[in-house]
Structure 1
Amino acid sequence: MTSARIALVTGANQGLGRGLVEGLAARLGPDDLVLLTGRNAERVAGAVAHVAADPATRSRVAGRVLDVTDADAVARLAAELHDQYGGVDFVVSNASAMLTPDRSQSAQADDFIDVANGGALAVLRSFAPVLRAGGRLLVVASSLGTLGHLDPRLQPLFDGASLDEVEKAVESWRTALHTGTAEELGWPRWINVPSKVAQVAAVRAVAAERRDTDLPADRLIACVCPGLIDTALSRPWFTDFSGAQTPAQAATAVLDLLLTERVDPATYGELVRFGRVLDWHDGTPPQLPDGLLVN
């Protein structure tokens, strides 16, 4: 067991993930450990070298190859950190797959869903149980993750759902995408929308089960929307980046929530954007991005 704080970020080779690792490494202490994870060993090593070379880095930074689509691998890492350190203190589920408008949504669905939704589910299932007192677990989502962005016919699938029910709804949506029935069933054409709603619903499901034990122990489980960031993932979708943040800038609000001294109960299990809780039932079906290919 150790008194050192342990932090882990998934999808941390670049973009927001690396910005979060950089911020944690600068704001935590020299005895603390920040684990930078990704599924490509070479990119993980390069990102660790980049962070370690920054004069602002105070904490120890180590790389771990982790494919969040492999739930068993996620569980093994959580068990290892529990055995070695007694648990973890900060976890950010940030991994996401590239989604572009020039390829059909259905052709990209499996990889995107496996990483964004399967990865978030695996992290929640394996790391929430090893979160130490005072710990924080955040899932990076989007303001598109509120329930109102879905057709009213689909909202009951996620509203008040258990984690298993959320997973079942995601698989039902995946099947509809591949059978060509998604649109008639009311699923949005842009797969980013139900993916984000499902991420937030998963967090809400875990939080509903753990709230009574987590809040007295000052633990936080929540979703976070970092806002528009100028990254390779967002570049294909937007033309005006005049108001976009750099990954380092976007990491600031996330880090402030992650490192808050005491948990605000109002944020527990919710989707938080720049410190403000977004209403779960808010939102309207979004306008389709230009040039979107569906099938």
Structure 2
Amino acid sequence: MNASRIALVTGANQGLGRALVEGLAARMNPDDLVLLTGRHERRVADAADEVTGLPGTRARVEGRVLDVTDADAVARLADELGARYGGVDIVVSNAVARLLPGESQAERADEFIDVSNTATHAILRSFGPVLRPGGRLLVVASSLGTLGHLDPRLHRLFDGADLDQVEYAVESWRSAVHNGTAVEAGWPVWLNVPSKVAQVAAVRAVAAARREHDLAAGILIASVCPGMVDTDTSRPWFSDFSQAQSPSEAARAVLDLVLAEHADPALYGELVRFGKALPWHDGTPLVEQDGLVTP
């Protein structure tokens, strides 16, 4: 990678995103720059100041306000970094909307889809072209992002799709939720499942189009599953957190992937968990029980 690197993390005020910024700032060099981004100016500024003041921080940390649901804002930031620094070296798309079990999935669908999926598409479209040689672009998803977690009737929408087709599938799902036809069509009630599958499918689509160029340039584009993480967003959904990781623990494997000297071609375009690719077609559709989700 370049001697002076530029890293950017979305959804970085708290939780895993904050832990990723802390880890990057500790493991990168003093002349490197880590951009901590989020929607709320005060929270972003406070978080950046706090990370800067940590004993282990080495790299420069700056807060930047970024609403990832605003595709134009994402594009402007990518263009700015491309013009100012000649590109970026590390991008981690981590933003997620918080959703509680008691809330209406349908009523929260737009916000959830915009933050998780529309934003992922914008990040891939805008930051892919400004990745410098040796760059890394990772989308934080989960093991629920494997295709088998969806009803088989829906597989054709994502398997082998290009990014435009993934976007169309996501908008079709959104419309079905609002029209009350989603369950009939096979979509899970729990928004997180199709959202994660679509995130992974979007990464696979972009990777398929760029693979030859990126492998030659040492670039890695992938989705990542950090495992179960104990955060305010995830805790309400699971009854047993005995095996959950803290955000800093969950960040380690992601950081190892981001900061590896050489990109493993076997991981390119894949959903990676703890350094290994998860099979795209694996998984079993999930069911809801008493407001919680189980296999």
- TM-score, structure 1 as length reference: 0.97
State the partner residue of 2:80: 80
State the partner residue of 1:247: 247
Instruction: Structure 1: state its 5+ residue gaps.
Output: none
Distance 1:289 1:200, change over 3 A: farther
Pairs within 5 Å for 1:135-284:
135-284=135-284
Tell me which amino acid in the other structure corresponds to 2:279. Answer: D
Distance 1:29 1:238, change over 3 A: same
CA contact (8 A) 1:237 1:289 kept: no
Q: Secondary structure at the match of 2:261?
A: coil
Cα distance in 1 between the residues matched to 2:290 and 2:119: 28
Structure 1 residues 134-154: Cα deviation after superposition (integer angstroms, max 9, x where no partner): 000000000000000111110
State the partner residue of 2:19: 19
**Is 2:21 the partner of 1:29?**
no
CA contact (8 A) 2:237 2:292 kept: no
CA contact (8 A) 1:102 1:292 kept: no
Cα distance in 2 between the residues matched to 1:280 and 1:71: 27
Cα distance in 2 between the residues matched to 1:266 and 1:112: 31
The RMSD of aligned alpha carbons is 1.1
| Deviation of 1:104 (Å) | 1.2
List 4+ stretches of structure 1 deviating above 3 A.
Answer: none
Cα distance in 2 between the residues matched to 1:289 and 1:228: 19
Cα distance in 2 between the residues matched to 1:178 and 1:238: 26
| Deviation of 1:292 (Å) | 5.9
| Deviation of 1:283 (Å) | 0.5
Q: Secondary structure at the match of 2:287?
A: coil
Q: Secondary structure at the match of 1:277?
A: strand
Cα distance in 2 between the residues matched to 1:148 and 1:239: 23
The 10-residue stretch of structure 1 (95-104 or 14-23) with the greater mean CA deviation from structure 2: 95-104
Cα distance in 2 between the residues matched to 1:289 and 1:224: 27
Tell me which amino acid in the other structure corresponds to 1:177. Answer: V
- TM-score, structure 2 as length reference: 0.97
Structure 1 residues 39-66: Cα deviation after superposition (integer angstroms, max 9, x where no partner): 0001101111110110100000000000
Cα distance in 1 between the residues matched to 2:222 and 2:290: 31
Tell me which amino acid in the other structure corresponds to 2:137. Answer: L
Q: Secondary structure at the match of 1:252?
A: helix
Pairs within 5 Å for 1:24-103:
24-103=24-103
The 10-residue stretch of structure 1 (20-29 or 233-242) with the greater mean CA deviation from structure 2: 233-242
Q: Secondary structure at the match of 2:11?
A: coil
Tell me which amino acid in the other structure corresponds to 2:58. Answer: R
Cα distance in 2 between the residues matched to 1:103 and 1:122: 27
Pairs within 5 Å for 1:118-137:
118-137=118-137
State the partner residue of 1:6: 6
Cα distance in 2 between the residues matched to 1:71 and 1:183: 29
Instruction: Structure 2: state its 5+ residue gaps.
Output: none
Cα distance in 2 between the residues matched to 1:169 and 1:289: 27
Structure 1 residues 201-230: Cα deviation after superposition (integer angstroms, max 9, x where no partner): 000000000000000100000000001111
